[in-house]
Structure 1
Amino acid sequence: MSHQMFEWLREHRITEVECIVPDMTGVARGKIVPKDKFVSEAEMRLPEAVLIQTVTGDYPDDSMLDLTDPDMVLKPDPDSLRFVPWATDPTAQLIFDAFRADGSPVEVAPRSVLRRVLQLYTDKGWAPVVAPEMEFYLLSPNPDPDIPLAPPIGRTGRAEFGRRSYAIDAVNEFDPLFEDIYDYCHAQNLEVDTLIHEIGTAQMEINFLHGNALDLCDQVFLFKRTVREAAFRHNMYATFMAKPMEGEPGSAMHIHQSVTDIETGKNLFSNPDGSSSEMFLHFIGGLQHYLPECMPFFAPYVNSYRRLSRYTAAPTNVEWGYDNRTVGLRVPHSSPAARRVENRVPGVDVNPYIAMAATLACGYLGIVNKIKPRDPLASDAYELPFQFPRGTEEALERLSRCHDVAEVLGPRFVKMFIGMKEKEFAEYFRVISPWERRFLLLHV
């Protein structure tokens, strides 16, 4: 442990440390350790199998793992040290990286996957700059999963109804909750920016300031925990499901992306005269070519595909256009220094590290292979043919054939990710839905 970390723990009288490893689903795994034990122990260990648990807590086929089920050596990232502001006693949280006994990174750990992609950019003298936008719903408590979800009660004593897009008063209905969210974010150095009311009933969006991809993924990962904890405190649920309610739009994690020169800091998406660069166009070309082939990273669950349907404020293709919100790849109006591409495809249910690695991988392949994009679209893209897989099975099959992306992200990681998702889908497929009982039980 660094002297700086030790002094921080001592200065803030920390009594416990949450030692966190993000798994492939984006769940926080790890251990809660008394501060004195954390300080005295040289290292922490967990089995590699922790990383590939399904969202239900099950595991894919045993052939995915080393037969000896070895431990990972976990090392803390000092830059991730933060408070747990909702804890009763002074508590810190720390994100760990995973290594093997020989010191090499565990290549299937989500942070390792993102670091692998970022290193490819570094080797070229480039640095990606990203800014995520997070949509989520506030809900009344719902302990029974068989009962449909409903919006929460606001300060007026009424549940929200109808469309309240961008309405200030609709956000103020939940002002005490958002005060806590902002206080919690400030305590953790989460650099959140704008808060708006989105299209759906009690659907909100909070944007992050642009910055380093790994740091922003850490912030998104912790932000999800933060919002859920703050909502619990106000007798609400907050959900990051992609499509939690019938008849309401889904929730996305839009990712704004650009690439800068490491030495000069200049935006490489713009030429010196302010025009768009070849790199900019090739980045878009890579996204257009590869995004449909690796959709499990952007739509990881069966529920995710309910969001990707026509006229629901979600994209149905990877066309691109200037300030066009109907396409999958939007280029906002900006100065040349701020030229960027907004990937509107990912749902908010993604693992942020994996989705970020995948979108940057697609763009990187476009740059190095000089893939030209189609012409920008200035019309309504919802009228165009659907360009994505229709569901989990088709998406996983297409990903298994996408060897270019697997080489960038890591073949073993992609194989294990597919195995985990196949296990989840098999579990889902065993469940008989209320729709089937309603319409098929006595009618067929």
Structure 2
Amino acid sequence: MNAPFDQLFTWLKDHKITEVECVVSDLTGIARGKIAPTNKFLHERGMRLPESVLLQTVTGDFVDDDIYYDLLDPADIDMVCKPVADAVYVIPWAIEPTAIVIHDTFDKFGNPIELSPRNVLKKVLQLYTDKGWKPIVAPEMEFYLTQRCEDPDLPLKAPMGRSGRAESGRQSFSIDAANEFDPLFEDVYDWCELQGLDLDTLIHEDGPAQMEINFRHGDALDLADQITVFKRTMREAALKHNVAATFMAKPIGDEPGSAMHIHQSVVDIATGKPIFADADGTMSELFLHHIGGLQKYIPKVLPMFAPNVNSFRRFLPDTSAPVNVEWGEENRTVGLRVPTSSPDAMRVENRLPGADANPYLAIAASLLCGYLGMVERIEPSAAVQGRAYERRNLRLPITIEDALTQMEECETIERYLGNKFVRGYVAVKRAEHENFKRVISSWEREFLLLSV
């Protein structure tokens, strides 16, 4: 055995795990993989999956044959999935002692699979390492609790809390409103502690039964793994309490959307010191260039922040959602907020990503934009003072079709993320959009059926 696998072997035995869920993330963020008895998993040291699973859409369909066979081996060969020793988590809700083990993916020659979201993030992190930098991130996850609903044509409703009443109105930061779901969140925190997830604060957000859970700042890859596990854990805890948890970007028409805000900073690997503030505590040149890169390149990677048709419904003024790539200090009306902090905690909060985004890809895209600003020495625009909602930046695509076109036409993004990834991701999202366009909505039936 090698050292990492020895570590994993010991962990599984110590926790008396009898089943292992071997998972990889597809481009949409859905976990794909196999469930194996622990003995079989340890014997095989991983699994094999067809690379084509990474090209599935949210509906389970595959991209069109022309792009499918252009990107993949015509024989639809397997990729080699190797377990990540420090990405293993217990499943507290399972009947049998079970663990999730996240896997990295390689071809038969040992090369990383370009379509793998985890590999995309690792590629971006290597860019930082090559410069002697290490990015630090702190994600914030927003989501709604709703009544369970079996009919997708019906609007979602807020669930009943401990009081027996469904929440109405908006109760941003209300302690009482958050406490309505104490039993559920006691389970969430207990389960996440067992899993080793670095949860920080719980906040009641603006919408009815809309919540936010913040993660402590840390390593970008580790936190992307944690968010992947957390979203499933949150949904399972909700089901246990007979409600649903959704990370859909805009689940309720007249209510605020749900985001995955990403706070990001950078430290010098050699010294361990942050590089976003100068000795006098002011913003460093590298920090300003980082912001400049975000401003320039976010429009080119927006599909990695807003991956679905529904994602773009979130971008509305006056809903605490960004409609621009302006930046400002302590300003929630801009897409790029610089919170008040000590010099050591100088950071920028990217408010563009939705809660529905694949965490690996959203973090990768956000860090890549900042990196490009630093190496290209991109100057940001002037910081916005006051309200910025009216500054709807024309560089920001307003539909997923426009966003996908901008992404595939950007040579810089293709150069850094790879032609195969960009083509595959755009193809998956276009296939989903074509599927969406074939659906006749309840609005059309309500107002057009007998009126036009």
The TM-score with structure 2 as length reference comes to: 0.97
User: 2:435 aligned with 1:427, yes or no?
Assistant: yes
Q: Which residue of 1 aligns with 2:48?
A: 45
Q: Which residue of 1 aligns with 2:412?
A: 404
User: 2:423 aligned with 1:415, yes or no?
Assistant: yes
User: 2:294 aligned with 1:287, yes or no?
Assistant: yes
Percentage of identical aligned residues: 60
Q: 2:99 aligns with which of 50, 74, 92?
A: 92
In 1, the alpha carbon distance for the partners of 2:145 and 2:400 equals 27
Residue identity matched to 1:295: L
Report the CA distance between 1:386 and its aligned residue: 4.0
* Aligned 8 A contact 1:113 1:357 in 2: yes
SS in 1 for 2:104: strand
Report the CA distance between 1:150 and its aligned residue: 0.3
Q: 2:230 aligns with which of 219, 223, 244?
A: 223
Q: Which residue of 2 aligns with 1:250?
A: 257
Q: 1:440 aligns with which of 425, 448, 452?
A: 448
Residue identity matched to 2:383: P
Q: 2:219 aligns with which of 207, 212, 217?
A: 212
Could you give the per-residue CA deviations for residues 322-352 of structure 1, whole angstroms, max 9, x where no partner exists? 0000000000000111000000000000000
User: 2:308 aligned with 1:308, yes or no?
Assistant: no
In 1, the alpha carbon distance for the partners of 2:152 and 2:261 equals 28
Could you give the per-residue CA deviations for residues 200-247 of structure 1, whole angstroms, max 9, x where no partner exists? 000000000000000010011111001000000000000000000011
Could you give the per-residue CA deviations for residues 292-350 of structure 1, whole angstroms, max 9, x where no partner exists? 12210110000000000111110100000000000000000001110000000000000
* Aligned 8 A contact 2:338 2:349 in 1: yes
User: 2:29 aligned with 1:26, yes or no?
Assistant: yes
Residue identity matched to 1:378: Q
* Aligned 8 A contact 1:357 1:409 in 2: no
Bigger drift between 70-79 and 380-389 goes to: 380-389
Report the CA distance between 1:43 and its aligned residue: 3.8
Q: What root-mean-square deviation, in Å, do the aligned CA atoms of Structure 1 and Structure 2 show? A: 0.9
Alignment of 1:121-136 (within 5 A): 121-136=128-143
Residue identity matched to 1:381: A
Alignment of 1:12-411 (within 5 A): 12-61=15-64, 62=68, 63-387=70-394, 388-411=396-419
* Aligned 8 A contact 2:45 2:82 in 1: no
Structure 2 residue runs of 5 or longer lacking an equivalent are: none
In 1, the alpha carbon distance for the partners of 2:341 and 2:7 equals 40
* Aligned 8 A contact 1:254 1:344 in 2: yes
Could you give the per-residue CA deviations for residues 15-44 of structure 1, whole angstroms, max 9, x where no partner exists? 100101111111111001011111111441
SS in 1 for 2:81: strand
Report the CA distance between 1:3 and its aligned residue: 2.1
* Aligned 8 A contact 2:45 2:83 in 1: no
In 2, the alpha carbon distance for the partners of 1:54 and 1:79 equals 28
SS in 2 for 1:303: helix
Residue identity matched to 2:192: C
Structure 1 residue runs of 5 or longer lacking an equivalent are: none
* Aligned 8 A contact 2:325 2:393 in 1: no
Report the CA distance between 1:64 and its aligned residue: 3.2
In 2, the alpha carbon distance for the partners of 1:133 and 1:94 equals 23
Bigger drift between 420-429 and 383-392 goes to: 383-392
Could you give the per-residue CA deviations for residues 172-213 of structure 1, whole angstroms, max 9, x where no partner exists? 100000000001100100000010100000000000000000
SS in 2 for 1:79: strand
Aligned length: 444
Assess, with a 3 A threshold, how the Cα gap between structure 1 residues 282 and 386 changes in structure 2: closer, same or farther. closer
SS in 2 for 1:200: coil
In 2, the alpha carbon distance for the partners of 1:183 and 1:385 equals 42
Could you give the per-residue CA deviations for residues 371-407 of structure 1, whole angstroms, max 9, x where no partner exists? 0000000121111134321211111111111111121
Residue identity matched to 1:404: T
* Aligned 8 A contact 1:196 1:206 in 2: yes
* Aligned 8 A contact 2:79 2:108 in 1: yes
* Aligned 8 A contact 1:361 1:409 in 2: no
* Aligned 8 A contact 1:19 1:32 in 2: yes
Report the CA distance between 1:81 and its aligned residue: 1.4
Could you give the per-residue CA deviations for residues 139-180 of structure 1, whole angstroms, max 9, x where no partner exists? 000111111100101001110001111010101100000000
In 2, the alpha carbon distance for the partners of 1:406 and 1:332 equals 31
Bigger drift between 434-443 and 416-425 goes to: 434-443
SS in 1 for 2:221: helix
Q: Which runs of 4+ in 1 moved over 3 A?
A: none
Bigger drift between 279-288 and 63-72 goes to: 63-72
